[in-house]
Structure 1
Amino acid sequence: PPFDPYLDPAPADPAQTDHSPDLGTLPPLLVDLAGGDPADYLLEEHRWATADVPRARLVDLNTEAAGYFAARYPESWAASYLTERLGSDLADDPRFAAGYAPAGWTGLVEHLRALGATDTEILAAGLGSRTRTGNLIDRFRDRLVFPIHGADGDIHGFIGRRNPATDDADRAGPKYLNTPETDLYRKGAQLLGLHEGRDALADGATPVLVEGPIDAYAVTLAGDGRYVGAAPLGTAFTDRQADQLRPYIRDGRPGIVVATDADPAGERAAERAYWQLTARGDNPARLAMSDGLDPADVLRTGGTTTLQQALQESGSLAEHLVNQRISAATHNTATAEERVAAIRAAAEVIGALRPNRWLHHIDRVTDVLDAVPGSVHLEVIEAGTAWILDPAGQAAARLNRRAPGVQPAPQKPDVERWRDLAHSIDPRLPGDGGWPMLADALTRAHNGGYDVNGQLPHLAAQHQLPDRNPATELRYRLHADTHTANPPPDIAAQWQAATSTGTRHPQPVPPPARERNLPRDTPGR
């Protein structure tokens, strides 16, 4: 039977040692790669050893570009736009470095060329792009621009907000435009706002996960040193970004506040963040906002005090998700099957928390659904056991859950399953000696939620695959583009956390009689 933290004795001599790496002692690049995986660090070293443009040169070009944008910011529409949205143009705040990319076609390109930059370097930094006629033009034009810093403090890229006076019909490009994938900047690897709020975070501030850069700065401005906004930069919240929040997830600190927009897309983003953050031991909170609002809207309409008070009153994200799952089963006409489904769905949410946080939510679900005593406990114990044994796998499964009733088709062996895809990318791949290892890695990446069919062609197209060992090279790229979560936590440590905090435990909860040889009517709590 599954491990039962309420009935089974605690394992002898529970481990007390934290085996996670001390990120403060590791090179900055390692910290910036999926939370400090040494294998990723070695891959990063290999990347720069074979790069066309050295890392230091890309950093220099980005630094020059940031200065160029900053010099053109004060007289632009961007300054007044930020003042309207945030109540400040940020010009006098040393934490921020807003800039403006002029509307011309080649202003930055010509500026960098005058400083000795080659077109190859400008393209490698993601600061320019080629037109269909072959001319090199600025990537960012007529945009409010913010620098994107890596964990090392260097500028890895930029994000630009288009002029609000234009829209899609004006062919002005997307609302937000990022630096393209480069050797230095990788989409999904940075969180905007952590660098700007680094001093406050070091002093104990709580990170607040938002959707956009303006929201991130709104939170930091209103947070008064107690809250720091962080935005995923135009992509769904990734495991690499979640790992960057690990240093702020520990006992004695509040949970990460999830402040995604109050609309259906924001609700989906909040649930996604919940699985990723709880897999790292967090008990995240949820910022409550009126429908359709985001944190910048709250700051603009209500002022600093209103947003700060809302942040302080953030409720439990787990409770928010549980409410969503049980609400449909609370009406008088709910069937037994609907109530069971609601309990199981709620148990998944509760079981993702640490055991010492279960009971409050169990009691509430039991009361609201008038459930049989002990039934919710058992569902949570089973869901929680699966989570404790493999939090990363459970999180990935829930992030990529299929629609109800859809069953996965039987799978071919790895080398056959991916053969057609590999052949379409490069006919040499299926016959290469490294193909079996690549095929195995593809299956594991797929099972972890990675879009193999969509992403593998892009990885192969980054640079031409070498004549020797093309499958091995592609496997390196795959590893660099995916993230392997940390090993599952020690169950004994989880037990220790549950029993060392004075948690009120229920009376013994009966598992099915066949598992413990107890009569079915054994009393619950």
Structure 2
Amino acid sequence: MAGRIRDEDIALVRERTSIAEVISDTVTLKSAGGGNLKGLCPFHDEKSPSFNVSPARNVFYCFGCGVGGDAIKFLMDAEHLTFIESVERLADRVGIQLRYVEGDQAAPRARPQQGQKQRLVAAHAAAVEFYQSQLSTAGARPAREFLARRGFDRAAAQRYGCGFAPDAWDLLTKHLRQQGFSHDELVTGGLSRPSRSGTLIDRFRRRLMWPIRDIAGDVIGFGARKLFDDDDGPKYLNTPETPIYKKSHVLYGIDQAKREIAKQGRVVVVEGYTDVMACHLAGVPTAVATCGTAFGTDHIAVLRRLLLDTDAVAGEVIFTFDGDAAGQKAALRAFEDDQRFVGRTFIAVSPDNMDPCDLRLAKGDLAIRDLVARREPLVDFALRHVINRYDLDTVDGRVEAMRRAAPLVAKIKDREKRPEYVRKLAGDLGMEIEPVQRAVLAAAHAPGEREAAAPPRGRARPATPAGDSPESMVEREALKLALQEPVLAGPMFDAVEAVEYRHPVHVAVRTAIAAAGGVATAAGGAVWIEAVRDACEDLAAQALVGELAVEPLRLDGEPDPRYVSSTLAQLQWGSVTARIRDLKSKIQRINPVNQKDEYFALFGELLSLEQHARALREQAAGGL
């Protein structure tokens, strides 16, 4: 792509940059022994230093919050720069003249123009500032009053970037044009639209505005709430589909909630912007909401990665719905989506049929936390909803209710729970267990039900010698990054040694990568792939290198250092949790009275590993 920095130059910047010097501009570093340095993490509040720097490997890692990477990644996180901007900053620092690829040519030139995504994100950032400045004007009084009535003060409005689209046709458009954004950029980004006369006007007018951010925190769109009775538009109006705003992928509040979702292994799905704000402010920081569309498969994919929702790990997904007919219908639709999660899925319905925002206004913050605490399994709610449709005082009613409810029990992913739900369903219906059991078994083996009950498999993948388990796929992804994107993977990949890989063929490929000189010094391309292939000691590993070199990465769009960091954290997390299970098993077999020293030594190691696992979970979420 035009404007891309040559891989060789990126590798040279990484080689010549002293990560300790770069980080020392921000963090006071002290010796930690073994040639390593330690300081207080700049990315989260802490009193004792857990931020480690390895000058020998040119990488950093915080055991407190899970952030890690090389000098390029540090600048991206610390100064909110793009990958290219970070490379350019470091190149200036060490005196390297960068070359940029223009088609098939590469030559020194000035800084490239930003790509479309960066330009659209910049335009939205400028729009946020404009809308926020308008919120304090006289014309925005209805917007301020709306927020106040919903229980949100000025600090809350600022935290969520709330603003106001003024009563003017083209005030924002003129403002952004003066800042250098083009007609096409404003239309493409959904900020402006052509009028009937052909002039460019603002898309949003006389509305309360919420900026919608992606998981990285960049503003990619807006949600706009109607304030005036003579506004004939819908109550909520969202940014249209654009190159950066895909409503089926967007979850409002995900940028603020992602760390707590990863840390707690739980997400609360609510219905609106004010519900997200109310939950966060009430002490439920894991709340997110969809933006103008139903909760769907793309949203599930985002949450599964945050929750590390795999066959080995189960998170919690809690849906909140109004208790009315529409809310119950949405809950039943969520049960169908539940089959795409491995984790446990719950529903929380307010006894007064109030949404979280109304509940907080009426009963305070504690009521929000109690609502989440009183959640019930979604399958229980679905079964009760089906059974309540029928008259259980009649034989026909009981039999029909059994026929309708049996497929729901058959869809429960955790097979060990099915017998318990068979007994529960029989009790609720007032029937013997045998006919209910037969109905569930018949539903489980009915055409189409086997597929529905199975977990998702994602995109089709070729058969490989390395299996298809969730852990194996994470290992494959890490190796693909090393082979296909060595300039991005760099020292981050090299810092995770072969011992963290489980499958023997993956271990062999990882060992071959080290034997070929490691990723940090590789420039990529066919020469690098062949060097790794030649270093493989068996035919299976050689075959896998060829396969991984061309297999697509498991993400939409281009990879970046955050994705590399996230993938490597998921890889390590699996081995760390396995060691935690082994330690817990050992501790249970030890007598703490007779083997006190060994017991406390193992217990201390367990606490350290559990802290490391929490940090890795958060790091895994950071690349999403």
Residue in 1 that maps onto 2:120: 58
Q: 1:474-485 counterparts in 2 under 5 A?
A: none
Q: 1:55-94 counterparts in 2 under 5 A?
A: 55-75=117-137, 76-77=140-141, 78-91=143-156, 94=159
CA contact (8 A) 2:314 2:342 kept: no
- State whether structure 2 residue 174 is matched by structure 1 residue 118: no
The 1:271/1:388 distance shift into structure 2, 3 A limit, reads same
CA contact (8 A) 1:161 1:176 kept: yes
386, 392, 405: which one pairs with 1:325?
386
Higher strand share: 2
Report the CA distance between 1:257 and its aligned residue.
1.0
What is the letter of the counterpart of residue 222 of structure 2?
Answer: F
CA contact (8 A) 1:218 1:229 kept: no
233, 237, 245: which one pairs with 2:295?
237
**Per-residue CA shift, 1:212-237, capped at 9, x if unaligned?**
11112212222x2x542211111111
Report the CA distance between 1:374 and its aligned residue.
2.3
What TM-score does the superposition give when structure 1 sets the normalisation length? Answer: 0.59
What TM-score does the superposition give when structure 2 sets the normalisation length? Answer: 0.50
Give the secondary-structure state (helix, strand or coil) at the position aligned to 2:164. strand
245, 250, 253: which one pairs with 1:190?
250
The 1:252/1:310 distance shift into structure 2, 3 A limit, reads farther
User: What 5-or-longer segments of structure 2 have no aligned partner?
Assistant: 1-67, 70-113, 457-555, 557-624
Instruction: Determine the C-alpha separation between the residues in 2 that align with 1:319 and 1:89.
Output: 41
User: What 5-or-longer segments of structure 1 have no aligned partner?
Assistant: 1-23, 26-51, 396-479, 481-525
Instruction: Determine the C-alpha separation between the residues in 2 that align with 1:287 and 1:145.
Output: 28
Report the CA distance between 1:394 and its aligned residue.
9.9
Report the CA distance between 1:270 and its aligned residue.
1.3
CA contact (8 A) 2:423 2:433 kept: no
269, 272, 275: which one pairs with 1:209?
269
**Per-residue CA shift, 1:109-162, capped at 9, x if unaligned?**
010011111111100010011121112111111222112222343222111112
Give the secondary-structure state (helix, strand or coil) at the position aligned to 2:316. coil
The 1:383/1:153 distance shift into structure 2, 3 A limit, reads farther
Instruction: Determine the C-alpha separation between the residues in 1 that align with 2:395 and 2:162.
Output: 54
Report the CA distance between 1:391 and its aligned residue.
3.2
Residue in 2 that maps onto 1:349: 408
What is the letter of the counterpart of residue 273 of structure 2?
Answer: P
Report the CA distance between 1:312 and its aligned residue.
0.7
- State whether structure 2 residue 373 is matched by structure 1 residue 278: no
Instruction: Determine the C-alpha separation between the residues in 1 that align with 2:367 and 2:177.
Output: 47
CA contact (8 A) 1:242 1:277 kept: no
Instruction: Determine the C-alpha separation between the residues in 1 that align with 2:392 and 2:286.
Output: 40
What is the letter of the counterpart of residue 347 of structure 2?
Answer: R
**Percentage of pairs with the same residue:** 29
Instruction: Determine the C-alpha separation between the residues in 2 that align with 1:257 and 1:327.
Output: 23
Report the CA distance between 1:344 and its aligned residue.
2.7
The 1:149/1:367 distance shift into structure 2, 3 A limit, reads same
- State whether structure 2 residue 424 is matched by structure 1 residue 359: no
CA contact (8 A) 1:200 1:228 kept: yes
Report the CA distance between 1:388 and its aligned residue.
7.8
CA contact (8 A) 2:411 2:453 kept: no
CA contact (8 A) 2:132 2:164 kept: yes
Residue in 2 that maps onto 1:159: 223
Give the secondary-structure state (helix, strand or coil) at the position aligned to 1:256. strand
Residue in 2 that maps onto 1:175: 235
Residue in 1 that maps onto 2:43: none
Aligned-residue RMSD, C-alpha:
2.9
Report the CA distance between 1:204 and its aligned residue.
1.0
Residue in 2 that maps onto 1:375: 435
The 1:383/1:70 distance shift into structure 2, 3 A limit, reads farther
Residue in 2 that maps onto 1:4: none
Residue in 1 that maps onto 2:491: none
Report the CA distance between 1:92 and its aligned residue.
7.3
Residue in 1 that maps onto 2:260: 200
Residue in 2 that maps onto 1:101: 165
The 1:221/1:243 distance shift into structure 2, 3 A limit, reads same
Instruction: Determine the C-alpha separation between the residues in 2 that align with 1:355 and 1:259.
Output: 26
Report the CA distance between 1:322 and its aligned residue.
0.2
What is the letter of the counterpart of residue 173 of structure 1?
Answer: G
What is the letter of the counterpart of residue 380 of structure 2?
Answer: E
The 1:162/1:193 distance shift into structure 2, 3 A limit, reads same
Give the secondary-structure state (helix, strand or coil) at the position aligned to 1:196. helix
The 1:394/1:254 distance shift into structure 2, 3 A limit, reads closer
Report the CA distance between 1:85 and its aligned residue.
0.9
Instruction: Determine the C-alpha separation between the residues in 2 that align with 1:380 and 1:391.
Output: 14
